[in-house]
Amino acid sequence: MNFSYIGEIAALATAFLWMLSSLCWTSAGERIGSLAVNVIRLLVALPMVMAYLWLTEGVVAPFSASANTWFYLSLSGALGFFVCDLLLFKAFLLIGPRLGMLILSLAPPMTALIGRFFLEEHLTLLNWLGMALTIAGVAWVVLASSTQAGTGCRYVFTLRGGLLALFAAACQACAMVVAKMGLKEKISAIAATEIRLIAGLGCFLILLLILRRYPMLFKAAKDRRAVGIIVFGALVGPVVGVAMLMVAISHIQTGLAQTFLALSPVLIIPFMRLLYKERITLHAVAGALLAFAGIALLFVKKSGIS
């Protein structure tokens, strides 16, 4: 039973890695824009994953996986890497990574609601209380931040940025439930990650073609500093971080995995102070902790399910 918490440990590692990557996306996005960051990070991450899969499994892509697995994981990748991240990265530029990640912490209760219908996970009165605490914590921080303009905070809450982050949370919740469906067949975490990356990158390439934004991409790729930041962010986020997430949701409930990911807004607070000199108020800390307490309560009576 010593390894019975492998899912929880993987989810906790994901929270830390995603926190680091959110700082990278914000920093690079300020230089070259959110759309360019989205595309370049996937272009960097995919070869990394393919190389690792070749070294560990002897194939460059999991072609042996069933069509059903490819369908669900591809759909999950389109929702997670494309729709969710497109919205979230823009939100980062408007309200900052701390507030963006905090609003993204609403994904667990959303996942619970969706999982109730698609994964037969039923909610209890305690679950609903957890949701209420989570929403209250997020609202507390958002409302406190919206009154801090000109008081030392680099980013403040805006309705547009908040809605983008909220829709991103909904997309992430859907992506996790769909990914769980795709992981019913035995497939390695890195192989599942590659399928999701391929789908997400494909969506972005089509979008660039429709918008005729390829010249913008080539120009952005010439910014060496931004590309360097993206390479590091791609390694800790879409590669290692997402692989850890696939390990997590293959061992525990999707909602429980999302609970651990909700630690990101708490973990990011000291980094915002160190990197951006942002003044962090007691309201921000208390609201973040309340949000996480609500998420923890949401799943406190749920045991991990493979």
User: For 72-122, what is each residue's pLDDT tens digit?
Assistant: 999 999 999 999 988 988 898 888 877 887 788 788 778 877 877 776 656
How far is Cα 84 from Cα 200, in angstroms, rounded to an integer? 10
pLDDT over 70, % of the chain:
86
Domain that holds residue 198: 10-298
**294 within 8 A of 112, measured Cβ to Cβ:** no
Q: For residue range 239-263, list pLDDT tens digits in order.
A: 888 888 888 888 777 766 777 777 7
Q: How far apart are CA 68 and CA 62, in angstroms?
A: 13
Distances in Å between the Cα of 7 and the Cα atoms of 37, 173, 256 are 29, 18, 9
Give dist(CA 198, CA 107) in Å, integer.
23
Q: Is residue 306 part of a domain?
A: no
What pLDDT, on the 0 to 100 scale, is given for residue 123? 60
pLDDT higher than threshold 90 for residue 270? no
Residue 7's pLDDT is what? 82
Whether the per-residue pLDDT at 198 is higher than 80: the answer is yes
pLDDT over threshold 50, residue 304: no
> 211 with 162: CB under 8 angstroms?
no
pLDDT at residue 295 is higher than 80: no
> Helices marked H in 58-188 — which ranges?
67-77, 85-104, 107-118, 125-145, 159-182
- Split at pLDDT 50, 70, 90, the class of 306 is very low
Q: Flag whether 143 is in a domain.
A: yes
Residue 304 in any domain: the answer is: no
Q: Is 303 inside a domain boundary?
A: no
Higher pLDDT, 25 or 139: 25
Task: Provide the domain count of the chain.
Answer: 1
- Give the range among 37-46, 113-122, 194-203, 211-220 with minimum mean pLDDT: 113-122
Q: Is 60 a member of any domain?
A: yes
Does residue 2 sit within a domain? no
Mean pLDDT of the chain: 82
Measured CA to CA, the distance from residue 193 to residue 30 in angstroms comes to: 27
Q: Is the pLDDT of residue 206 over 70?
A: yes
